[in-house]
């Protein structure tokens, strides 16, 4: 192989890696947006979001926005309250969704986040997003 050809191929390969848009590992996978949402369950003096309240929220808010499915994890979270400087710890739920790119994901995530904050008087819902290859 000529040096210029090898250099051109190397540049193309590196460009694909740098953009994160290389081929997916497994057959049938496509690039998707993966979003993790972190929901604190502590509602102050009232206690925690109950199982029945969570199930209702999932049915009325999450399912309509992510009808193809999502996964719910029970977690424990810790965060720093910027107003008081106090560290808070609480039972939490993490929801992971994987949806096709360009599926108006941002608007759907914001709607879920806003609904939870309003319904359960939360200051924030954590959101982490990335792209990955997936198949279902």
pTM over cut 0.95: no
4 located within any domain: no
Q: What does the pLDDT read at residue 28?
A: 94
Q: What does the pLDDT read at residue 20?
A: 56
38 located within any domain: yes
Calpha distance 6→1 (Å, rounded): 7
Calpha distance 88→86 (Å, rounded): 6
What are the average pLDDT values for consecutive 10-residue runs of the chain, which has 136 residues? 38 40 89 97 91 98 97 94 90 96 93 97 94 94
45 located within any domain: yes
User: The CATH number of the domain where 99 resides is what?
Assistant: 3.30.70.120
Q: What does the pLDDT read at residue 8?
A: 36
11 located within any domain: no
Calpha distance 40→81 (Å, rounded): 13
Tell me which residue has tokens 């993490």: 94
125 located within any domain: yes
6 located within any domain: no
Calpha distance 105→34 (Å, rounded): 10
Q: What does the pLDDT read at residue 32?
A: 96
Q: What does the pLDDT read at residue 127?
A: 98
Q: Which domain holds residue 43?
A: 24-134
Number of domains making up the chain: 1
12 located within any domain: no
17 located within any domain: no
Query: Secondary structure of the chain in the HEC alphabet?
Result: CCHHHHHHHHHHHHHHHHHCCCCCCCCCCEEEEEEEEEEECECHHHCECCHHHHHHHHHHHHHHHCCCCCEEEEEEEEEECCCCCCEEEEEEEEEEEEEECCCCHHHHHHHHHHHHHHHCCCCCCEEEEEEEEECC
């Amino acid at each position: 192989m000529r040096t210029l050809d090898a250099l051109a191929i190397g540049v193309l390969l590196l460009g694909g890696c740098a953009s994160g848009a290389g081929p997916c590992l497994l057959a049938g996978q496509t690039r998707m947006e993966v979003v993790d949402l972190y929901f604190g369950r502590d509602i102050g003096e009232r206690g925690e979001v109950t199982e029945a309240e969570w199930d209702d929220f999932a049915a009325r808010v999450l399912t309509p926005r992510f009808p193809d499915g999502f996964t719910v994890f029970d977690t424990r979270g810790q965060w720093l309250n910027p107003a008081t400087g106090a560290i808070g710890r609480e039972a939490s739920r993490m929801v992971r969704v994987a949806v096709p790119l360009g599926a108006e994901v941002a608007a759907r995530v914001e709607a879920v986040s806003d609904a939870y904050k309003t319904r359960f008087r939360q200051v924030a819902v954590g959101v982490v997003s990335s792209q990955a290859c997936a198949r279902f």
